[in-house]
A and B are shown apart, each in its own frame.
Chain A
Amino acid sequence: MGKYLVNLKINNIPVSVEEGTTILDAAKNLNFKIPTLCYHSDLSIAGNCRVCVVEVKGQRVLSAACATPVSEGMDVFTNSEKVRASRKNVVELLLSEHNADCTKCYKNGNCELQEMTSEYSVGNHIYLDLVKDKDKILDISSPSIVKDDSKCIRCQRCVRTCEELQAVSALAVVNKGDHQKISTFLNKPMHEVVCTNCGQCVNRCPTGALVEKNYIDEVWNAIYDPDKFVVVQTAPAVRAALGEGLGVELGQRVTGKMVAALKKLGFNKVLDTDFTADLTIMEEGTELLTRLKKALVDKESVALPMFTSCSPGWIKFVEHIFPEYLANLSTCKSPQQMFGALAKTYYADKINIKPEKMVSVSVMPCTAKKYECDRPEMRSSGYKDVDYVITTRELARMIKQAGIEFNKLESERYDSILGESTGAAVIFGATGGVMEAALRTAYEIVTGREVPFTNLDIKPVRGMEGIKEAAIKIKDTVPAWSFLEGVELKIAIASGLANAKKLVEAIRDGKATYHFVEIMACPGGCIGGGGQPIPTSAEIRKKRIEAIYEEDTNMTLRKSHDNPEVQEVYKEFLGSPLGHKSHDLLHTHYKPRKRY
């Protein structure tokens, strides 16, 4: 508003755009695609790869379209002879330092660099191959992420992601000239540094230099092993994005098809993390109310605000960066780990399978979950509670490997038990969702009434903003919770660790006070997780969020405490929320880690 319009011509076509627009965006308006590598819509401009060069009439040198704002009367050519020759040269130079073994590469078929080379039909190798042998040594130390320097083109998207979106800066540009590379503090292995395993860098790396550590073969081996009983759980956000990698339109929920595909792949039981998301709400909601009671009635020392604990990237972030807030984390394990702990105890017992024969696999939108299932805290069943975590991307790959035509599958339903869920669980996949689900249940416990929002949709906690705040006034409580009468419950929500950092600092500095805070490590929540289909952008994440809320609206049960299987597991096995069994299986504590 109030911005000047600038008139220019791109490939001889006139166009008017707001002052400050880059040539790249102006060209997009006219549907001219300019190739990019270091540019990413979620990140600041680096302008270092030069594949986006265009010719501006009257200027001697070419301009980087991503980094050049338009100016009045500009005459831009995006595809002149000079431009094409220059781009081809840039790509060839990049390749001269790139270990281009596409046929053996994990990114084969889904690689921005590969696409670029095919467009520019580079193949005549005019430059010497300068890949250093020492760069071919992979860093496989992390259970979540594999780093391969020989595939890196030093576009620095990862560095900007880790700094700007996640405020972690585990990766930096080190050395200079031909020794320049992307590395950690003193080149330490990834698992020894502050990396949270969030995988946001993986989502944005245009090559195979940063990829998830995949467990596809391990899962196939388990499936093929006749002595093993393989159960699989699927996280809420997977159903909103899996289709993207399998030829389904963006934003389409594929829950039923996904279940069908998993059955076809040969999993013995297909179950739902949403079930334990509902269970998490029962435990976490009760925990919040208990903390409030301790603080207000018993005058005990308890840590408030309480932070959610379902995002393992966030947990590791707190361990490194804010260890003084570890007590504020809810003691609830994540839904994945609650599921794992129940699968090899309660469930194994119910279906009469020995836990040592059971292999528990989970499909997650998240790379940090791979790390989480390896943590020593996650063996409450007496076994590794979750054996393997595969991402949405790995599942898509397995479906392709199996030759399943995903689009043609008929929808199927989750197995029972541990397959039933409510709308409250589905929305765990989006930022604000855990908060909304918790409120739907906690408010009802305290007042005996449903949350005062039309159709149970708690709109103030929804939306893509990085930090959200809301307050709910508690009125007409039931006698047991009368001490909360008239209290205004203050809540906040952040997604993306850079936003989480801002929020915790505001709390630390006394600039804000809350009772309950939801944090998800990835921008937009799990739907934007580091294991979701590539590419990602604000628009894509918005579409996935819409799909999540649509799924919620279409469920018959919308509140976690209404989940009949959850009620049953309490009756038959757990007793009550925060009870003895829950304590042993579903809760844990974390320890401080070195930040520096």
Chain B
Amino acid sequence: MTKIKHLIQNFSLQKFKKGGQKMSNVENLVKELVKIHGKNRNSLMPVLQGVVKEEKYLSEDAMMAIAKELDLSTADVYGTASFYTFLDTVPRGKNIIRVCKTITCHMKGKDELIKALEDALKIKVGETTHDKQFTLLTANCLGWCHKGPVMLINDEIYPETSPQAALEIIEKYQTSTKK
């Protein structure tokens, strides 16, 4: 009997080879993040956020790597990511502009603000500029209603932004990020 046991253990685990694939950057990033946050389901949110911080969005490869590292299904990872506005699953520009579209900011002129940005960047809401510098999006209430209209660029909040002010602000980003 022990003989059989031994044979079973030896022969059942013929290693399945993955076949010389190079590990991509995003796979490494995910591995690092999982090391920091732990290999369990609760780490899903911080890992998703970590990837978005570095990559601006969650690519198919990134979500597959996360699923693999956390032993989840890819549909689960995508389902969670798609629930959150700030976890994008399509490519985004270097700087993400989000203009609040909720009622107070609406009343305080978010339409004019958006129009000015669209004209200056030559894109519509939801689009990214050709040079991949800016993506223009809208967001739900950002909690700054008393100082509307509000826009958020990456993590920076810009309250009481007039169309004119907005143009000056994005000018800053343009020069500071262009090499």
B residues in contact with A326, CB < 8 Å = 16
Q: Which of B7-43 contact A (CB under 8 A)?
A: 7-16
With both beta carbons as reference points, the residue of chain B lying nearest to A324 in the complex is identified as B16
Contact of A303 among B1, B14, B63 (CB under 8 A): B14
Q: A510 CA to B9 CA in the complex, in Å?
A: 7
Contact of B75 among A175, A185, A292, A514 (CB under 8 A): A185
Q: A328 CA to B56 CA in the complex, in Å?
A: 43
Q: A168 CA to B79 CA in the complex, in Å?
A: 14
A285 interfacial contact with B, CB 8 Å:
no
Tally A-B pairs: CB < 8 A. 95
Size of B's binding interface in residues, CB under 8 A? 31
Interface centre among B5, B10, B74, B77 (most CB of A within 10 A): B74
Is there contact, CB below 8 Å, between A324 and B79? no
A residues in contact with B15, CB < 8 Å = 324
A356 interfacial contact with B, CB 8 Å:
no
Given known pairs A194-B73, A324-B13, A596-B67, the reply for A172 and B79 (CB within 8 Å) is: yes
Is there contact, CB below 8 Å, between A513 and B11? no
Is there contact, CB below 8 Å, between A174 and B67? no
B72 interfacial contact with A, CB 8 Å:
yes
Given known pairs A172-B78, A596-B74, the reply for A305 and B8 (CB within 8 Å) is: yes
B118 interfacial contact with A, CB 8 Å:
no
Is there contact, CB below 8 Å, between B76 and A295? no
Q: A487 CA to B77 CA in the complex, in Å?
A: 46
A515 interfacial contact with B, CB 8 Å:
yes
With both beta carbons as reference points, the residue of chain A lying nearest to B17 in the complex is identified as A324
A186 interfacial contact with B, CB 8 Å:
yes
Size of A's binding interface in residues, CB under 8 A? 42
Contact of B12 among A183, A292, A304, A488 (CB under 8 A): A304
B64 interfacial contact with A, CB 8 Å:
yes
Given known pairs A324-B15, A507-B12, A515-B8, the reply for A488 and B75 (CB within 8 Å) is: no
B residues in contact with A173, CB < 8 Å = 79, 83
B residues in contact with A304, CB < 8 Å = 7-8, 11-12
A246 interfacial contact with B, CB 8 Å:
no
Contact of B11 among A301, A487, A592 (CB under 8 A): A301
A508 interfacial contact with B, CB 8 Å:
yes
A170 interfacial contact with B, CB 8 Å:
yes
Contact of B3 among A296, A303, A305, A324 (CB under 8 A): A296
A residues in contact with B9, CB < 8 Å = 510, 513
Chain B min CB distance to A488 (Å): 6
B residues in contact with A184, CB < 8 Å = 75
Q: Which of A190-225 contact B (CB under 8 A)?
A: 193-194
Contact of B1 among A186, A488, A514 (CB under 8 A): A488
With both beta carbons as reference points, the residue of chain A lying nearest to B68 in the complex is identified as A596
Q: Which of A124-164 contact B (CB under 8 A)?
A: 163
Given contacts A170-B75, A185-B73, A301-B11, 17 further A-B contacts (CB under 8 A): A172-B76, A172-B78, A174-B78, A176-B82, A183-B75, A185-B77, A193-B74, A301-B10, A303-B14, A305-B8, A305-B12, A486-B1, A488-B1, A507-B12, A514-B8, A595-B68, A596-B65
16 sample A-B contacts, Cβ–Cβ < 8 Å, listed by A number: A172-B73, A172-B79, A174-B75, A176-B83, A185-B63, A186-B63, A193-B75, A194-B74, A295-B4, A295-B7, A302-B11, A304-B12, A327-B14, A328-B12, A513-B9, A595-B68
